[in-house]
Structure formats: structure tokens, C-alpha cells
Amino acid sequence: MLPRLFIPSQPSEVQGNATDAVKEVILHSLATHVKTPRVFAIDLISKLALCEVTIRPVEEEPLLQEAVVLLSIVVNDKMLDLGQEVHQASISFLIDYCSSLALSALRAEFMDDPSLWVSKNLSIVFHESQTFLGDELKIVNTSPFVGSVKENQRGTMTAKSEVWNITRCCLVASGIHNLMAPKAFVKL
């Protein structure tokens, strides 16, 4: 039997200095996807545990702020490839989805707009580490606030993710995710 993670349902159950309103945005995003039966990768989203949402100064540039969103998941059989290791597609999805949550937290805190943006570019490096059934993964996501509010409402924002195997103490993958605001409609 696989270990189970505590999956919080209330903002007060999530660590970090972000306001309860910002934590609620992330919890709502996770819950909404789980309640929608035909969502891609529902088996992964439903197992994600939100551990922390923090808003803090960027280390290299203290005048800027960044959002940090930490999530955990225990590797389950739906995430495995034929060799019984975690499939790179599962890791790619975790980086794509979880990094977007860091951006939502940042936008909720500073722009009162927690909407999920769409991917513009996703660059992932897979490190030489093996991950197996039952291993616990921690997904660390940061999204720095760069430029003015007006610029960030219409431009590109960036989030960074690292997937750590807590069980084996190693970095599994890291990624940079550039996102943009969705268009109201597209002309063909």
C-alpha cells in the first residue's frame, strides 16, 4: 500500500505567509480540476497536496517579490512507464501545471487576478535520477514579479519549477515555464 499525503482543503491547513485568500485561489484551482471529470491528468491533480504558499522578496533583487508554491505527490501506478519508473510525461505535466499555480498566486496577491495563463514556452531538463512507485516528490515552484502591473497584465510571465525526489534525496527535473494571457478569441 502506498503512503498517503495529507491533502488540505482549507487555507489554514497550508503553510506559508500568503494570505488565506491567495491560498484559497490555489486550493480552488486544484479542487476545480478534480471535480471536472474529463480533465487531462485528473489522476495526478487529485493526488497533489498543497504544502506551502509564500510571497517573499526575490533574493537577488529584494525590491521585487516572488510567489513560492510547494506541492507534494506520492508516485502512483498511473505515473509509471513500462520500466516501472516515473514517465517523463508525468513529470512534464507536473512542471507545467504546478508552475502555473505559482503564477496564479503571484497574480492573486498583486493584481487581484488569479486566472491561469496559457503556455508560451516550456523548457525542461531531466536529471539523472530514478523515481519509482511510492517515492514522494516535492514540486517547488517560484514566479518572480517583474516589471509593472500594467506590463504583466498583457505580457509574458515566467515561473520556475524543480521536482525533487524526497525519498531518494535527488533532483528529478527542473523547468522554466513562460506563460501569456489567453486571448479572448482567435481569428482564423
Q: CA 64 to CA 120: how far, in whole Å? A: 23
* pLDDT value of residue 41: 75
Summarize pLDDT for 82-105 with one digit per residue, the tens.
999 999 999 999 999 999 999 999
User: Is 83 part of a structural domain of the chain?
Assistant: yes
Q: How many domains does the chain have?
A: 1
The reply to whether 185 falls in a domain is no
Burial per residue of 151-166, b for 16 or more beta-carbon CB atoms within 10 angstroms, e otherwise = ebeeeebbbbbbbbbe
* Among 49, 43, 47, CA closest to 27: 49
Rounded Cα distance between 154 and 16, Å, is 28
CB distance 156 to 180 below 8 Å? yes
Residue 102, helix vs strand vs coil = helix
CATH of residue 160's domain is 3.10.129.10
Q: Give every CB contact of residue 182 below 8 A, 6+ residues apart in sequence.
A: 115, 117, 118
The whole-number pLDDT of residue 167 equals 95
pLDDT digits (tens, 9 = 90+) for 100-158: 999 999 889 888 776 777 888 999 999 988 899 999 999 999 997 655 545 555 577 88
Q: Is residue 59 part of a domain?
A: yes
Instruction: State the average pLDDT over residues 166-173.
Output: 96
Across the chain, mean pLDDT equals 86
Please report whether residue 144 resides in a domain.
Answer: yes
Q: Is residue 105 part of a domain?
A: yes
Kindly state the average pLDDT of the residues 173-186.
81
Q: State which residues form the domain around 117.
A: 11-180
The amino acid present at 38, given as its one-letter code, is R
122 near 39, Cβ under 8 Å?
no
φ and ψ of 144, to 5 deg: -75, 145
For the entire predicted model, the pTM comes to: 0.88
